[in-house]
């Protein structure tokens, strides 16, 4: 099942300081994804956080990959910049993603990050994301492994690339942005009610946000009915 993962720098501080840092992280991501059985579909490395969309082959694949990747990158940063201490803001956050409705939406969410941040006008202008690898037939990104939802965009590569580019003609609706952020930051499921119910049954815990505020007592409800 696909997962959307996000890992932030400690206190939202920078975790990439120059181009070599981005390159090193992507190199390690490729190695650790292969070593732990994770198929990477999309990614975006921002200055102070990372977005990944991947499908793990085993239940513990993503956790093991992120642990090894995080350790190696922290060692690299501490050695390069003669620093010590933590770099990441604790453990990564993630959410399972429903294939049919949200897989390609997550693609857009991740690769449009630099546009929303005002860093570029078009996702293709940003070097440290998977957009070019997914949207340009001439730009081969060996890190990426296309999901079935991507293959379903067209009968051949040219048709799929055109369809993928068309997905980025408009920014995501605010409601979609909020849904992805809430699900990822809260480790909830991202999908339709039937999908989230299946996740809750499989995990044995809540997979959607609960209602905020004080639970309403039965007596309070009855009083309100009388007043009405």
Of 36, 69, 34, 37, nearest to 50 (Cα)?
69
At 185 the pLDDT is 93
Domain ranges of the chain: 3-203
Q: How confident is the model at residue 211 (pLDDT cuts 50, 70, 90)?
A: low
**Does the pLDDT of residue 216 top 60, yes or no?**
no
Can you tell me whether residue 112 is helix, strand or coil?
coil
Cα distances from 133 to residues 128, 137, 162, in angstroms, run: 11, 7, 13
At 212 the pLDDT is 47
Q: Where are the alpha helices (DSSP H) in the chain?
A: 19-36, 61-81, 99-111, 113-116, 131-135, 148-151, 157-167, 174-185, 193-203, 218-227
pLDDT tens track for 44-58: 999 999 999 999 999
Superfamily of segment(s) 3-203: Transposase IS200-like (3.30.70.1290)
- Strands ordered across the beta sheet of 38-45: 38-45, 49-56, 3-8, 93-96
Question: Phi/psi at 160 (nearest 5 deg)?
Answer: -65, -40
- Which residue(s) pair with 52 in the sheet? 5, 43
**Does the pLDDT of residue 219 top 50, yes or no?**
no
Written as six digits, the tokens of 214 are 């004080």
**Does the pLDDT of residue 67 top 60, yes or no?**
yes
Q: How confident is the model at residue 220 (pLDDT cuts 50, 70, 90)?
A: very low
DSSP annotation string for 74-85: HHHHHHHHT--S
Residues 139-158 have a mean pLDDT of: 95
**Does the pLDDT of residue 12 top 50, yes or no?**
yes
pLDDT tens track for 73-98: 999 999 999 998 889 998 899 999 99
At 222 the pLDDT is 42
Q: How many CB atoms lie within 10 A of CB 65?
A: 26
Residues 190-197 have a mean pLDDT of: 92
Q: What is the mean pLDDT of the chain?
A: 91
């Amino acid at each position: 099942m696909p997962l959307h993962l996000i890992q932030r720098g400690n206190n939202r501080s920078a975790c990439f300081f120059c181009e070599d840092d981005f390159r090193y992280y992507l190199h390690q991501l490729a190695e650790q994804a292969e070593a732990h059985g994770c198929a990477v579909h999309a990614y975006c490395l921002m200055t102070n956080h990372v977005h990944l969309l991947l499908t793990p082959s085993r239940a513990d694949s993503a956790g093991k990959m992120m642990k090894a990747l995080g350790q190696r990158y922290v060692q690299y940063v501490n050695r390069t910049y003669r620093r010590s201490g933590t770099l990441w803001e604790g453990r990564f956050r993630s959410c399972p993603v429903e294939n049919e409705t949200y897989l390609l939406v997550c693609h857009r969410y991740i690769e449009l990050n630099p546009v929303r941040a005002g860093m570029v006008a078009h996702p293709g202008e940003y070097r440290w994301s998977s957009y070019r690898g997914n949207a340009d037939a001439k730009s081969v990104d060996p890190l990426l492994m296309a999901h079935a939802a991507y293959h379903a965009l067209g009968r051949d590569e040219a048709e799929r690339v055109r369809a993928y580019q068309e997905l980025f003609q408009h920014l995501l609706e605010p409601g979609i942005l909020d849904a992805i952020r809430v699900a990822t930051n809260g480790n909830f499921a991202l999908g339709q009610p039937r999908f989230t119910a299946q996740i809750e049954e499989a995990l044995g815990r809540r997979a959607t946000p609960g209602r905020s505020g004080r639970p309403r007592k039965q007596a309070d409800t009855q009083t309100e009915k009388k007043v009405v």
